[in-house]
Amino acid sequence: MKDFLIIGQGIAGSLLAHELLKRNQSVDIINNTQSNSSSRIAAGLYNPITGRKMVKTWNCDKIFVGLENYYRDLESKLNAEFLHPIGIYRPFFSAEEQNDWQGKISDPAYSYLVKELKQNPSKDPMVNDPYGGLLLNHSGYLDIPVMLDSFKKYFQDRGMYHEKVFNIQGLKVLEDHCSYEDQQYRRVIFCEGSAARDNPFFDWLPYKLVKGEILDVEIDYNRDTILNRGVFLLPLKTNLFRLGATYNNHDLTFDATRQAVDFLKEKLNLIFNGQFEIISHRVGIRPATKDRRPFIGVHPKYSQVGIFNGLGAKGVSLAVLYSEQFVENLLDDQALEPEVNISRFFSLI
């Protein structure tokens, strides 16, 4: 009997498998690679200051101090390069925002996240920042497809990766283990992304799926930081940038839309004065949740079945903290944070 079967090899499934292997657990992974999976579409940003109000992201202090070291260690283990630490520049939209951050910059709770507070407009004529802005530390992006492909090879080399469609009708939940295709597992953990909404074990969880559209664009412009306020403009290489992202919870098709292009143009024009040519247009469905917190834990009736999902747009950062915490819960019976434990929704069953 093996210890774990993981369904899905996105960010959540990959990091969970990695943490289980570190604890000497035997693991199989079943994955059906899809080019439009949310993990592969995501820009992979990690950003400690977010939102319209420019606040610290949830659980920022737990996550960001060790985040880059975690991924550097993974690069070494996987013999790959996918971590790109790079500053994020967030323009101020008002003098009030600038004044607010002039006060925060002396607070150690915030100062470690800020590389520079700019009180005057950039000398860059392409950037629209009349009130200055924040240049952040502990920020950047992951090349997620490179990381996932490197993980896939790592898992394949150990005979634990299986490329196929998982048939949930073939899963048998027995008294103290699960059975699938003549193999026995102590536990099955679903890391399926947006597909989990239709999983009969967890279809009672309140997902609020979000369609996100991202453009790769060409601009006659060079930049060495990410521009981010309302949208992000991420430099990939000379004159090539990634622009995103939209958030649509009404249209959940994989159709690329003109409305998304218009939205991204409008938002970008608030902070950037340049024109762009679209090179590619991609669509993904994020497994976002109603309360914007992950879904983690084991089924209240079938303790052999668990879920690690709902990381949303912050998957790069949240997956590190909560893959470690979930493994401690599964193997050491350590409590999950109440904010992420699916027990908060047991009343919905």
What percentage of the chain has pLDDT greater than the value 90?
Answer: 92
In the chain, ranges of CATH 3.50.50.60 domains: 2-42+145-207+291-348
Does 228 have pLDDT greater than 70?
yes
Does 12 have pLDDT greater than 70?
yes
Question: What's the whole-number mean pLDDT along residues 285-292?
Answer: 93
Question: What's the whole-number mean pLDDT along residues 329-333?
Answer: 98
Reported confidence tier of residue 117, pLDDT bands at 50, 70, 90? very high
Question: What's the whole-number mean pLDDT along residues 110-132?
Answer: 95
Question: What's the whole-number mean pLDDT along residues 213-235?
Answer: 96
Structure confidence by residue, pLDDT tens digits, 199-220? 999 999 999 999 999 999 999 9
- In this structure, which topology does domain 210-286 adopt according to CATH? D-Amino Acid Oxidase; Chain A, domain 2 (3.30.9)
Question: Which region among 13-22, 37-46, 141-150, 234-243 has the lowest average model confidence (pLDDT)?
Answer: 37-46
User: Can you say how many angstroms the Cα of residue 76 is from the centroid of all Cα atoms in its chain?
Assistant: 21
User: Cα separation of 193 and 288, whole Å?
Assistant: 9
Reported confidence tier of residue 65, pLDDT bands at 50, 70, 90? confident
Return the structure tokens found at 123: 């000398």
Structure confidence by residue, pLDDT tens digits, 170-194? 999 999 999 999 999 999 999 999 8
Q: Which residue has the tokens 């196929």?
A: 164
pLDDT attached to residue 110: 93
Residues 141 and 45 sit within 8 Å (Cβ to Cβ): yes
Residues 3 and 178 sit within 8 Å (Cβ to Cβ): no
Residues in the chain: 349
What strands, in cross-sheet order, belong to the sheet with 140-142?
45-46, 140-142, 83-85
Return the structure tokens found at 187: 């536990």
Question: What's the whole-number mean pLDDT along residues 105-126?
Answer: 93
The dihedral built from the CA positions of residue 295, 299, 303 and 304, taken in this order, carries a sign that is negative
In the chain, ranges of CATH 3.30.9.10 domains: 210-286
Question: Which region among 51-65, 70-84, 315-329 has the lowest average model confidence (pLDDT)?
Answer: 51-65
pLDDT attached to residue 33: 83
Return the structure tokens found at 290: 């109603």
pTM: 0.95
Residues 37 and 219 sit within 8 Å (Cβ to Cβ): no
User: Cα separation of 217 and 349, whole Å?
Assistant: 45
Does 40 have pLDDT greater than 90?
no
Residue 8 φ/ψ region, left for φ over 0, alpha for ψ in the -120 to 50 degree band, beta for the rest: left
According to DSSP, the β-strands at 49-50 and 161-163 are: unpaired
pLDDT attached to residue 35: 55
Between CA 23 and CA 242, with CA 313 as vertex, the angle to 5 degrees is: 115
Averaged pLDDT of the chain: 95
Question: What's the whole-number mean pLDDT along residues 312-338?
Answer: 96
pLDDT attached to residue 257: 97
pLDDT attached to residue 313: 85
Return the structure tokens found at 81: 């390069």
pLDDT attached to residue 36: 58
Residue 295 φ/ψ region, left for φ over 0, alpha for ψ in the -120 to 50 degree band, beta for the rest: beta
pLDDT attached to residue 77: 97
Pick the CATH number of 2-42+145-207+291-348 from 3.40.50.620, 3.50.50.60, 3.30.2010.10, 3.10.20.600: 3.50.50.60
Verify cis geometry, omega within 30 degrees of 0, for the bond prior to 245: yes
According to DSSP, the β-strands at 240-244 and 133-136 are: unpaired
Please give the C-alpha separations between residue 258 and each of 215, 278, 281, in angstroms, as whole numbers.
11, 12, 10
